[in-house]
Amino acid sequence: MPHPAFAPGAVAVVTGGASGIGRAAATRFARLGLTVCLADLGEERLAAAAQAIKTAVPDAAVMTMATDVSRLDDLQKLEATVREEFGGTDVLMNNAGVQPGSHMFGPEASWQRVLEVNLWGVIHGCQVFVPGMMARGRPGLVINTGSKQGITTPPGDPAYNVSKAGVKTFTELLAYELRTTEGCAVSAHLLIPGFVFTALTARGRTEKPAGAWTPEQTIESMMERLEHGDFYILCPDNEVSHALDARRILWAAGDIVENRPPLSRWHPDYAEAFAAFVKAGDKP
């Protein structure tokens, strides 16, 4: 069964909603009859996204608001506007994110921006919206966009990995808080996309790589897993199956249990052991 928050006339707020996964989610929500509020940077980008949604769903109700999720006051204004216009929020998707690239000893400003948007944007979004969603006493849904890089934390982009690892932990604790609050009808979920072709991952490419999913495929997978009540919405892609993701995640956890060097998956001394571990997962 669809999550009860996806009821016609319900209100969905999507940050990072002007493109990519956010816009695909907003379009899907609009098809279900929800009023959609897009929050992102850039009035022109927001207007184009709203028009695209209305083209796909002619009777869609779409509101846009320029919002920098790293700014608490921007999110407070967004929440107040949605509440005044529509009575409150039923679905909150904290999806806004940046990935400019980072280095362990890189400029503090680069680290600050990534953490402010990717992590504090989620924390602020939940702190600003969720208490009101709970107080409504009706089914509500929070979806925070994480990343596999926040789980297996591969080398190469430390600021992004730290931000997404924080989103994972925060969302787990949020889910616990919601499920242990008497009378709360709001649930929290962690979206973990695979390789998705978006402006964030394009890096100059204009055509989708064969290994990538589209944002629409990712949202289709998300909606299916929400119907099953999943908290961890782990999405595959055209290169990495769910089974391979599972082995990689188990291996990463094993670094702690087995007291291996951190990130041993990328350590030459463990290359053969990791390959054998993955292969063992293919056996029936």
With beta carbons less than 8 A apart as the criterion, state whether 168 and 122 touch. no
CB 75 within 8 A of CB 119: no
Q: Beta strand pairing status for 140-145 and 11-15?
A: unpaired
Residues 126, 92 contacting (CB under 8 angstroms): yes
Amino acid sitting at position 249: I
Pairwise CA distance, residues 61 & 58, whole Å: 9
DSSP run (H or E) holding 217: helix 215-227
Please pick, among 160, 176, 232, 270, the residue that the annotation labels catalytic: 160
**CA 45/CA 24 separation, integer angstroms:** 14
Q: What percentage of the chain's residues is helix, strand, coil (to nearest 5)?
A: 50, 15, 35
Q: Is 176 part of the annotated catalytic residue set?
A: no
- Catalytic residue numbers, as ranges: 160
